[in-house]
Structure 1
Amino acid sequence: MPQITVDYSRTIEPAFDRDGFARALHEATVEIAAAKPEACKTQFRPSEHTAYSYEDPAEARHAVVHVTVGLLAGRTEETKAKLTETALELLRKHIADEGIAVHASAEVRELDASYRKFDR
């Protein structure tokens, strides 16, 4: 914990500093949500195809990015809101403006009580 996933349209891949974003989000998660640095891990999942409104997907003028942060229960709503706002600020800083409209969102969710993990 935390389990962070970033789903994003592949069209912004050249403009998205994923390593810089992950590092900054890990630092923010430690500061805001009292996570341990060694527990922070992020998985990026590029999407080959993004559909937006009635736009022809071949035009690729829009991209979608969604960050999900899974934390163990116990954080306040204020803490979760601050972390999502910070994630959005960090996306703005780590996705260069290359003329594609970026639609970004973030959420913090509590991991289910059944959550378990192992490290090898």
Structure 2
Amino acid sequence: MPQITVDHSRFLSFDREAFARDLHTAVVEIAAAKPQACKTQFRASEVTAFGYEAPDEQGHGVVHVTLGLLAGRTEETKARLTEAVLELLKKHVEDDGTSVLHASAEVRDLDASYRKLER
């Protein structure tokens, strides 16, 4: 915990390593996570469809960040964290001047069945 997944349009110029470092720092500061517990996976989508636009037009880029945390954080903490994510995306996704960025973030409580293995 936290389990972080970042889904994004492949064509975006996105400094993922710097984003992950800054995001982990924010999660530690805002949600009291331990640094060594922060794990982020990036999933680049080959095709991103927006409205009626042809996917190969690439006029719209999408990034969605999901943060799975153990239950117990307040709604205020979750909101602060998602706002921080959006600010970090502004910083780490390059504005190419031609495409529109659609960025979103959500914090979910991990189910009570959550378990992890380290070896």
State the match for 1:59 in structure 2: 57
> Map of 1:29-40 to 2, 5 A cutoff?
29-40=27-38
Q: What RMSD in Å do the two structures reach over aligned CA positions?
A: 0.5
For 1:40 and 1:58, the matched residues in 2 are separated by 34
For 1:76 and 1:58, the matched residues in 2 are separated by 41
> Map of 1:66-85 to 2, 5 A cutoff?
66-85=64-83
Q: Cα deviation per residue 1:40-64 (whole Å; 9 max; x = unaligned)?
A: 0100000010110111111111111
Tell me the TM-score normalized by structure 1: 0.97
- Which structure has the highest helix share of the two? 1
State the match for 1:48 in structure 2: 46
Give 4+ residue runs of structure 1 displaced > 6 Å after superposition. Answer: none
Per the alignment, in what secondary structure is the counterpart of residue 11 of structure 1?
coil
Amino acid at match of 2:110: L
Q: Cα deviation per residue 1:88-119 (whole Å; 9 max; x = unaligned)?
A: 00000001111221100000000000000011
Matched length: 118
Flag structure 2 segments of 5+ consecutive residues without an equivalent.
none
Amino acid at match of 2:15: D
For 1:93 and 1:78, the matched residues in 2 are separated by 23
State the match for 2:2 in structure 1: 2
State the match for 1:18 in structure 2: 16
State the match for 2:99 in structure 1: 100
For 1:62 and 1:2, the matched residues in 2 are separated by 29
Flag structure 1 segments of 5+ consecutive residues without an equivalent.
none
Instruction: Provide the identity percentage.
Output: 71
Tell me the TM-score normalized by structure 2: 0.98
